[in-house]
Chains A and B, each alone.
Chain A
């Protein structure tokens, strides 16, 4: 719950007030009111975030960190204020531990690129089986270049990582463990605190892909003692094209720079260049200034509702939808465990997820179908993909009723 009355809405969690903040929720799709259940792909944006973008371009637009003029200073202050908001949201110890990136994929690539210099032949990286391709491929690339080996931490039938296997996989060669906090394909929550502690005992570092977690679960990077944590603003009601890499200060200082350019340098001579300190060392070029400022607005917005209230509402939606969908004959839910965020990945026996998703779309219901950029998960279950309905705090039980009747209707058309 939010502690200060200043940041709380007077009436607490009001779904009507919240929905009024999101203009897109009032449009129609295919002639029907939009039911948006593709929140795991990207969340919708409240007016407050849209206003932040418009305000910046209308009143503050200037390049940051270098102009002596007032506008540049104002834009710099707004951008750096966003960094402070992000730091406090994730409880990072130092503001320079927050690197603003273009998103989770960029954040992971930034670290993976640095590890190309830190890994040696025979070193090992442990990767979870249920990772998004973005948390697999950059490590494969780093392994290809260094001769390091990628080890897969397997999951069980419910999509939960096998911790016994993890302990067996960990050894003195393990340099890094990379797993998500929440699986994008299944919504299952991984026991990252245990994973971090076990890895640290072995002297390995841990990178957590938090893209699917950070707008649903309170994340405290300091308490977790995580080494690197990544997320994307657009999954947190913020704009696309901006995200965050958190890294422990001493680790980021030791990590080689990623892209070269302006902003990230201290002095440039043709004989050699010295790099700027954190966070700018990893922020080459003019950043997504408007996006960064609006990321801050999104954090403010989430704070104003409170992550506890968000999690409570989303869990109610999850339980309600799970019960309703389970009533449908031959419907299989993947990763149906108590510890999960509001994501339901399902199939109906004998039906292709594409067919079900196409018909739901005709009814104005947006779900994701396919492999969800997590092909190994689909291969594990031996399926071409799933239908994934993912809920956010602005969704309602009435919308879930539409999903359930929509799935029933699709089944009757297809069977």
Chain B
């Protein structure tokens, strides 16, 4: 089952019938992604496996996980911003369990070559890792 945010993203991307509109939308999302402070642009927050650099961090407030990220490439920022919308604000437990099929449904994986897709996979993996750590913390 897609989460509500994921369903909204799928509906939003369904509006685009050509690649250019879709990428213009991603670029727009990338440009509007709130930046993370330079102090977090360190190796500790860097996701490996992407052609562009992606820094991702997560905080837990009142039982919900909030992500913030930045990248040196705009399209990557757009992609990570979609992922943040899909997962941010859920409980750690829900993020761990959340499906990731929506990536295919919005046609992103089709347009991403294996190298790039690895970046996407690495981003999701890192988000889930943060959630797993928070969930373990909560249970302790």
Give A residues with C-beta under 8 Å from B. 30, 351-352, 354-355, 358-359, 361-362, 369-370, 384-385, 413-414
In whole angstroms, what is the CA distance A369 to B51 when docked? Answer: 8
Additional pairs, 11, CB under 8 Å, beyond known A358-B116, A359-B75: A354-B51, A354-B75, A355-B73, A358-B23, A358-B75, A359-B23, A362-B19, A362-B20, A384-B53, A413-B23, A413-B27
List 18 A-B residue pairs with CB atoms under 8 Å apart, sorted by A's residue number.
Answer: A352-B52, A352-B72, A352-B73, A354-B73, A354-B75, A354-B76, A355-B75, A355-B76, A358-B23, A359-B23, A362-B20, A362-B23, A362-B111, A384-B53, A385-B51, A413-B24, A414-B27, A414-B74
Q: Does B139 contact A (CB under 8 A)?
A: no
Give the A-B contact count at a CB cut-off of 8 A: 41
A118 to chain B, nearest CB (A): 37
Give residues in B with beta carbon < 8 Å to A: 19-20, 23-24, 27, 51-53, 72-76, 111, 113, 116
Which 4 pairs between the two chains have the least Cβ-Cβ distance?
Answer: A352-B73, A354-B73, A354-B52, A362-B19
Measured CA separation A363–B110 after assembly (Å): 15
Q: Which of A351, A355, A359, A370 has the most CB of B within 10 A?
A: A355
CB distance from A284 to the nearest CB of B (A): 32
Q: Report the minimum CB–CB distance from B8 to chain A (whole Å).
A: 24
C-alpha gap A299/B24 in the complex (Å)? 45
> Quick one: given A358-B116, A361-B113, A369-B51, are A384 and B20 in contact (CB under 8 Å)?
no
Residues of B within 8 Å of A369, CB to CB, are 51
Report A-chain residues with C-beta under 8 Å of the C-beta of B23: 358-359, 362, 413
Which residues of chain B are within 8 angstroms of A355 by Cβ–Cβ distance?
27, 52, 73-76
Of A30, A352, A369, A384, the most chain B CB neighbours within 10 A belong to: A352
- Indicate the member of A30, A361, A369, A414 with the most B CB atoms within 10 Å: A414
